[in-house]
Amino acid sequence: MSASVTQSFTHAILNQLQQLGIHISPPLLTLIRQHNEQGRLPLAIQDSLWMELESHRIEGLGLKIGLSMLPQNFDSIGFLLLSSPSLSVAVDSLINYSPIIGEGGVFAKAHSKEGWCLQYEAIFTSAVSMRIEAIFSSIATGARWVAGKNITPVAVYFSHEPQAPMTLYKQAFGDARVCFNQPQNAIVYDEVDWHFRQREVNSAVQAQMLSLANQQLAQLKPQTFVEQVSALLTHQPWLSRAQIAASLAVSERTLQRRLSDLNVNYQTLSQDIRKQHALAQITKPNITQASLAEYLGYSDESAFAKAFKRWTGMGFREYRLKQH
């Protein structure tokens, strides 16, 4: 199956172009509309759209397109992000499910002295600068939806040269430091905004959105049942067994039975994945036992402490000291 993007994202771009008075050639519009009923547009056709936009030579067009994006323009992922309790959780969902929006690149996150960094590596090779700026300005807009307040990045890094006056970058990224000709494309948020929780999670809504996202992702990348469960636990280790089952549109009993039929024990699988997460995260300077327990979905810190000692034979602090 060739790489593709969701039609809702493409239509949002076309709507914004109409508002800006930018006209697309009739043959290209016809080609896009021929795929309306399929719900997906081949990436090659969207490449053509971006190349045509680049030929208009309009300063900051990518930034303007990104700023105009709404949650519904990102298919089920937009609503999954909105149901996230924090920017941190939303970013994990974006990393895991971004192929549903488009298969033009790969997201990753990293921690630095400045805070938490969301990186993007493009696969597409046409109109790269414009598309990267559209992606990052839409992320900055989306971060404000998730946080429910006017948060701004600490810094934004682009691998290309400036494409517009700095006033347009300020409109997109506020007071963030914007740097060009960098080794990678990335947007950075501080620890407080990254982990800020504005509300309790509606678990029913989140489970519904996860279920829909997993169904759509499975259509793009078919997986075995064990792979689906493992992917959910790997990318969102805080999910309970009930939430995992709901995400896969099965009951907890069916989840257990289907895994058992494949000689896989849910508890063993989940504990192995949580252990991997714990050992990978514990070396990070700002990780605490309490924050790691919450990230891994433990009901309280003491339950995580017992599990950690069972995995390693040591307490959290003792193990951490031996790593330094």
Backbone angles phi, psi at 247, to 5 degrees: -65, -30
Tell me if 218 is assigned to some domain: no
Tell me which residue range forms the domain holding 299.
Answer: 223-322
* Shared-domain flag, residues 244 and 177: no
* Shared-domain flag, residues 188 and 94: yes
* Shared-domain flag, residues 54 and 167: yes
Final residue of a structural domain among 179, 195, 211: 195
* Shared-domain flag, residues 36 and 103: yes
Contacts of 153 (CB under 8 A, 6+ apart): 140, 143, 173, 174, 176, 187, 188, 189
pTM given for the model: 0.71
Q: What is the DSSP letter of 71?
A: G
**What is the band of 24 on the pLDDT scale with cuts at 50, 70, 90?**
very high
**What is the band of 185 on the pLDDT scale with cuts at 50, 70, 90?**
very high
**What is the band of 148 on the pLDDT scale with cuts at 50, 70, 90?**
confident
Final residue of a structural domain among 156, 176, 195: 195
* Shared-domain flag, residues 171 and 242: no
Give the integer Cα–Cα distance in Å for 287 and 306. 18
**Model pLDDT, residue 71:** 85
Backbone angles phi, psi at 86, to 5 degrees: -155, 165
Tell me if 93 is assigned to some domain: yes
Tell me if 167 is assigned to some domain: yes
Tell me if 135 is assigned to some domain: yes
* Shared-domain flag, residues 155 and 259: no
Tell me if 214 is assigned to some domain: no
Tell me if 200 is assigned to some domain: no
**Model pLDDT, residue 103:** 87
* Shared-domain flag, residues 84 and 47: yes
- Mean of pLDDT values over 54-81: 90
For residue 3, which amino acid is it? A
For the cut 80, the answer to whether the pLDDT of residue 106 exceeds it is yes
* Shared-domain flag, residues 141 and 33: yes
For the cut 90, the answer to whether the pLDDT of residue 323 exceeds it is no
Q: What is the DSSP letter of 102?
A: B
CATH number of the CATH domain containing 118? 3.90.1520
* Shared-domain flag, residues 21 and 94: yes
**Model pLDDT, residue 2:** 66
Give the integer Cα–Cα distance in Å for 234 and 260. 19
* Shared-domain flag, residues 285 and 139: no
- Mean of pLDDT values over 16-32: 92
CA distance readout (Å), 177 to 189, 220, 309: 11, 37, 43
Place of tokens 């959780």: 89
> What is the dihedral angle through the alpha carbons of 103, 240, 109, 303, rounded to the nearest 10 degrees?
-160
H or E stretch covering 41? strand 40-42
The better pLDDT of the pair 249, 182 is held by 182
* Shared-domain flag, residues 10 and 56: yes
CA distance readout (Å), 55 to 24, 127, 137: 11, 9, 21
Q: Give the HSE-up count for residue 245: Cα atoms under 13 Å, Cβ half-sphere.
A: 14
Tell me if 201 is assigned to some domain: no
Final residue of a structural domain among 153, 180, 195: 195
Q: What is the pLDDT of residues 27-36, one digit of tens each?
A: 999 999 888 8
CATH number of the CATH domain containing 237? 1.10.10.60
| DSSP, residue by residue, 121-166 | EE---SSHHHHHHHHHHHHHHHHHHHHTS----SEEE-SS---S-H
Tell me if 131 is assigned to some domain: yes
Find out whether 188 and 155 touch, Cβ atoms under 8 Å.
yes
In the chain, how many domains are there? 2
**Model pLDDT, residue 47:** 93
* Shared-domain flag, residues 174 and 298: no
For the cut 70, the answer to whether the pLDDT of residue 200 exceeds it is no
For the cut 60, the answer to whether the pLDDT of residue 222 exceeds it is no
Mean confidence (pLDDT) of the chain: 88
Q: Token pair of 202, please?
A: 């509606």
| DSSP, residue by residue, 310-323 | HHHSS-HHHHHHHT
**Model pLDDT, residue 234:** 80
